[in-house]
């Protein structure tokens, strides 16, 4: 009995969340913001790191 309640309520919540995610672009952007921030920070780190390695890889005169 309780397991049926848990499964049904989980399905209802998952469907409600999916509908909200599809119909509300603001919610979608808010949910996906951390992913985009992380990607930007990773890109910035890679650019800074590649500049440092280029400086150290230059031949000595």
Residue range of the domain that includes 61: 25-61
Does residue 1 lie in a domain region?
Answer: no
pLDDT computed for residue 51 by the predictor: 72
27 touches 20 (CB < 8 A): yes
**pLDDT exceeds cutoff 70 at 7:** yes
pLDDT tens per residue across span 25-55? 999 999 999 999 999 999 999 988 887 666 6
Does residue 5 lie in a domain region?
Answer: no
Does residue 6 lie in a domain region?
Answer: no
**Angle made by CA atoms 22, 23, 29, in degrees to the nearest 5:** 70
Written as one string, the DSSP assignment of 11-57 is HHHHHHHHHHHHH-HHHHHHHHHHHHHHHHHHHHHHHHHHHHHHHHH
Does residue 37 lie in a domain region?
Answer: yes
**pLDDT exceeds cutoff 70 at 61:** no
Does residue 38 lie in a domain region?
Answer: yes
**pLDDT exceeds cutoff 90 at 59:** no
31 touches 21 (CB < 8 A): yes
Number of domains in the chain: 1
pTM over 0.85: no
């Amino acid at each position: 009995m309780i397991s049926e309640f848990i499964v049904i309520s989980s399905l209802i919540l998952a469907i409600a969340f999916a509908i909200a995610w599809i119909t509300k672009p603001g919610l979608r952007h808010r949910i996906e913001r951390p992913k985009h921030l992380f990607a930007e920070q990773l890109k910035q780190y890679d650019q800074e790191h590649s500049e440092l390695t280029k400086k150290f890889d230059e031949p000595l005169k």
